[in-house]
Amino acid sequence: MSISEHQHQHHTEGADADVDAAEYWERRYQERERVWSGRANPVLVDVVEPLPAGTALDLGCGEGADAVWLARRGWRVTAADVSATALARALGHAADAGVADRIDFQRHDLARTLPEGTFGLVSAQFFQSNVELPRERILRAVAEKVAPGGLLLVVTHATVPPWSWHPHEDAAVPTPEEELAALGLAPGGWHTERLDAPARQAAGPEGRTATVTDNVIALRRAAR
């Protein structure tokens, strides 16, 4: 199993205008041997565990915990990220778990290229960035990759723990309803299965914990 290359460089504006997305995330991943916990995101587990396995797109897959969790449950996963370091780690975790043959890791600058095909599940878990990201445009584009009858699952930070970075700490956080409206999906084409902002306990470094809130949007595409 290898990592497919679909990388294009682009430059951002704002606080990190001199750093493109690939460079930013490479720098962040190379700071530590492991950035994330290695556990699948809890909302993904809660929403997807009852579903029959199919095909999935994991958007911004990072070090691969969600992709590995899905593959272990029989899903065939396309997992995309901009960071070559993250993807190499994810491939290693998939190999250790014995599911590398069920995951297609692809390197994409998602502002420029997206994986091909349609999927029964498109998952965007905390698809947020400290460099400029045309997030709504990308999510609208990947929504078109949800097969008829498939599920779009978008989870974002509504609050962040005290140990976390956040690019705009004082910015107003949209509600799940506002986030859904911003996606501008065609009315009548989707059924809302979940739209809420649950609280959970987050585990941080040095044994720290904090209560955080996530915005959750789960939409079922109309069958044709």
* pLDDT confidence tier of residue 66, bands split at 50, 70 and 90: very high
| Residue 189 confidence (pLDDT) | 94
Buried b (16+ CB within 10 A) or exposed e, 109-146: bbbeebbeeebbbbbbbebebbbbbebeebbeebbebb
Q: Tell me the whole-structure pTM to 2 decimals.
A: 0.81
Kindly report the backbone phi and psi dihedral angles of residue 23, in degrees, each rounded to the nearest multiple of 5, phi listed first.
-65, -40
> Tokens representing 177?
């309803």
| Residue 85 confidence (pLDDT) | 87
Q: What residue ranges do the domains of the chain occupy?
A: 4-221
pLDDT digits (tens, 9 = 90+) for 147-196: 999 999 999 888 877 766 554 555 567 899 999 999 999 888 999 999 99
Buried b (16+ CB within 10 A) or exposed e, 58-82: bbbbbbbbbbbbbbebebbbbbbbb
Please determine, for residue 117, whether its predicted confidence score (pLDDT) is greater than 90. yes
Can you name the CATH fold of 4-221?
Rossmann fold (3.40.50)
Tell me the CA end-to-end span of the chain in Å, nearest whole number: 35
| Residue 18 confidence (pLDDT) | 43
Residue 31 is given by DSSP the state T
